[in-house]
């Protein structure tokens, strides 16, 4: 069993997005300096900001990166905040709507896109813009979006992302090895087949669990859900008591990072024992790599292999987005 060649090549080429993204944003200039960042985006165009925020939190940053997924500006925006509009296609309805509100309010803006209406707006309004290559689905363009966003923040927020952190991002193009993860992804897909994945992580890596969920939803066209420790032990965990889960056919995948808090790892291991005692399969998946950002993106690559091979098993097109496109047409009608 093999993947469609176009998807397989996109996964294999993924690491190069980081060096290319950094290169595309090298000359990004902005007139003022800011203290905080607010990113407007949806789906695969939004989560690069959350990955960046989760990673940078480990360095105790003193500025805020906020992600907004809505049609309107939030009721309160901190002073000296740069608004970044992130839409891979450039035609996403929600950020385009907020763009017009921000323009009317004369708020400082920048943008990342591969084209579309967002590019046209930025060129017309002289909004700083970084254009990235088109031709992918947003969830497979995370490297471009992440690297460009990092460059924009480095330029806009003093003492935010220094050269040492930029080097870690640049190194991903050489360090990440998608081919080494393909077999593991294929094996995991076989284990998930016919089941409903529940993806569990620590709170600090909840964006990673969410990305796994979305990859499985969009690529394999299958139900999947995510949650995080310790919160899930206070609510979702209850369903493993006496509930009849036969119809759900769950399989729990716990993404465990060696740097998670000791007590959280203990919760994961004990929870796995309880869940297994209910005859529900649990897979403990180590998030591996020399540093946190490497581990996050290695796990994302693994999720692409899993979702791709699961799509193959289910005989669905892993790159199809027809349902979403038809839905957007209905919204515009």
| Token digits of residue 5 | 């060649």
Whether 248 is covered by a domain: the verdict is: yes
d(CA 49, CA 86): 9
Whether 234 is covered by a domain: the verdict is: yes
Question: For residue 270, what pLDDT band results from cuts at 50, 70 and 90?
Answer: very high
Do 24 and 151 fall within a single domain? yes
Q: Among candidates 73, 70, 71, which has minimal Cα distance to 102?
A: 73
Whether 320 is covered by a domain: the verdict is: no
Whether 117 is covered by a domain: the verdict is: yes
3-state secondary structure at position 41: coil
pLDDT tens digits, 289-310: 999 999 999 999 999 999 999 9
Query: 140, 155, 175 — which closes off a domain?
Result: 175
Q: What is the pLDDT of residue 295?
A: 98
pTM beyond 0.85: the answer is: yes
Average pLDDT value over all residues in the chain:
95
Least confident of 56-60, 173-177, 206-210, 273-277: 56-60
Report the pLDDT averaged over residues 34-57: 96
Do 156 and 252 fall within a single domain? no
* Contact between 305 and 14 (Cβ < 8 Å): no
Do 56 and 24 fall within a single domain? yes
Strand order across the 250-257 sheet: 225-229, 196-202, 250-257, 282-287
- Residues paired with residue 283 on neighbouring β-strands, in sequence order: 253
Question: For residue 1, what pLDDT band results from cuts at 50, 70 and 90?
Answer: low
- DSSP per residue over 232-298, as a string? GGGTGGGGGSS---TTT-EEEEEEEETTS-HHHHHHHHHHHHHHHHTT--EEEEEE-SSSHHHHHHH
Whether 330 is covered by a domain: the verdict is: no
Q: What is the pLDDT of residue 14?
A: 98
Whether 35 is covered by a domain: the verdict is: yes
Report the pLDDT averaged over residues 51-64: 93
pLDDT tens digits, 221-243: 999 999 999 999 999 999 998 77
Do 149 and 273 fall within a single domain? no
- Considering only CA atoms, give the Rg of the chain: 20
pLDDT at 209 over 80: yes
pLDDT at 2 over 70: no
Query: 159, 175, 191 — which closes off a domain?
Result: 175
Do 247 and 231 fall within a single domain? yes
Do 11 and 97 fall within a single domain? yes
Query: 151, 175, 199 — which closes off a domain?
Result: 175
The residue range of the domain holding 292 is 178-314
Whether 326 is covered by a domain: the verdict is: no
Share of the chain above pLDDT 90, in %: 89
Do 52 and 162 fall within a single domain? yes
Task: Give the end-to-end CA distance of the chain in Å, rounded to a whole number.
Answer: 41
pLDDT tens digits, 83-141: 999 999 999 999 999 999 999 999 999 999 999 999 999 999 999 999 999 999 999 99
d(CA 100, CA 103): 5
Do 286 and 165 fall within a single domain? no
């Amino acid at each position: 069993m093999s993947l469609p060649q176009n998807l397989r090549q996109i996964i294999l080429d993924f690491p190069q997005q980081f060096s290319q993204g950094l290169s595309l944003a090298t000359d990004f200039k902005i007139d003022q300096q800011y203290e905080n960042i607010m990113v407007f985006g949806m789906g695969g165009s939004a989560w690069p900001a959350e990955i960046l925020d989760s990673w940078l939190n480990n360095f105790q940053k003193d500025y805020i990166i906020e992600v907004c997924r809505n049609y309107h500006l939030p009721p309160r925006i901190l002073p000296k905040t740069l608004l970044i509009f992130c839409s891979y296609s450039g035609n996403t309805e929600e950020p385009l709507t907020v763009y017009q509100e921000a323009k009317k309010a004369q708020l400082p803006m920048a943008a990342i896109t591969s084209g579309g209406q967002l590019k046209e707006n930025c060129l017309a309004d002289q909004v700083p813009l970084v254009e990235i290559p088109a031709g992918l689905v947003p969830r497979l363009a995370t490297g471009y979006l992440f690297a460009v966003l990092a460059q924009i923040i480095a330029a806009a927020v003093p003492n935010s992302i220094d050269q040492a952190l930029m080097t870690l991002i640049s190194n991903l193009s050489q360090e990440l090895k998608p081919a080494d993860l393909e077999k593991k992804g294929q094996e995991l897909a076989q284990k998930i087949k016919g089941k409903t994945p529940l993806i569990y992580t620590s709170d600090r890596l909840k964006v990673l669990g969410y990305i796994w969920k979305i990859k499985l939803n969009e690529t394999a066209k299958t139900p999947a859900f995510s949650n995080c420790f310790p919160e899930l032990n206070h609510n979702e965990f209850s369903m493993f008591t006496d509930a009849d889960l036969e119809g759900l056919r769950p399989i729990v995948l716990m993404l465990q990072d060696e740097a998670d808090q000791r007590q959280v790892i203990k919760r994961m291991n004990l929870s796995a024992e309880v869940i297994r005692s209910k005859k529900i399969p649990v897979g403990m998946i180590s998030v591996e790599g020399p540093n946190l950002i490497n581990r996050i993106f290695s796990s994302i690559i693994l999720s692409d292999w899993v979702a791709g091979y699961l799509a193959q098993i289910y005989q669905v097109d892993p790159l199809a987005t027809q349902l979403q496109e038809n839905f957007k047409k209905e919204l515009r009608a």
